[in-house]
Chain A
Amino acid sequence: AQSVTQLDSHVSVSEGTPVLLRCNYSSSYSPSLFWYVQHPNKGLQLLLKYTSAATLVKGINGFEAEFKKSETSFHLTKPSAHMSDAAEYFCVVSDRGDYKLSFGAGTTVTVRA
């Protein structure tokens, strides 16, 4: 069985500063890992996905995440936060090829002007 732990329930950053959202996972098999973003009153939008290729995954809107098997982590980063990045972010794991996604509890990001 797989599971995800998002280590921060809330992150606050100033506009133009880096963002780091931390995620640890457990999976019995080779995992697929995802980050989704949810803006208020919106559905979930896929930011990026890791399967088995490069461990550094680049996504949309300047986000990237690094898969570290030894640390069972998949942290999401962005070098410079923008006001539009204020949203809730979900780290998600699945056993590769399985539709059953395990969602983290979410991290709410606020961006200060």
Chain B
Amino acid sequence: ETGVTQTPRHLVMGMTNKKSLKCEQHLGHNAMYWYKQSAKKPLELMFVYNFKEQTENNSVPSRFSPECPNSSHLFLHLHTLQPEDSALYLCASSQETKDDEQYFGPGTRLTVT
């Protein structure tokens, strides 16, 4: 596989469920990002990892918990979400955080019921 992949592509979960989103990049990059894309709103940066270390948490509620076990993988653990959390969650990567050219995955369409 090439580029940035995300699984699952679609997810429906109840407010009491726990689920995880997975992102994998095959580009040899060292920085990875989670974004939230809601309808009619600009993309919102959620978390940033550089060389496996979290360098930014953009005031994201604690019901979203990121994990970066290595430079190629990024997870977003979800628990007790709210309906307003329904959105497209995009993962991206770049060579390092000082490199502003980011490559995006196809996203996970999350619906919270």
A residues with a Cβ closer than 8 A to B are: 32, 34, 36, 41-46, 49, 90, 94, 96-106
Contact = CB atoms under 8 A, between A and B. Distances in A.
B7 interface: no
Interface string B43-65: 10100100000000000000000
A100 B90 contact: no
A43 B107 contact: yes
Contacts of A105: 40-42
Given A99-B94, A99-B98, A44 B42 contact: no
Nearest to B5: A43
B97 A99 contact: yes
Contacts of B102: 99, 101
Interface size class of B (residues with CB under 8 A): 20 to 34
Nearest to A105: B42
Contact of B101 (A43, A46, A106): A46
Contacts of B81: none
Nearest to A36: B104
A55 B90 CA distance: 30
Given A43-B4, A43-B90, A44-B90, A101 B100 contact: yes
5 nearest A-B residue pairs (beta carbon): A43-B104, A44-B104, A43-B106, A99-B97, A103-B42
B100 A99 contact: yes
B45 A100 contact: yes
Contacts of B107: 41-43
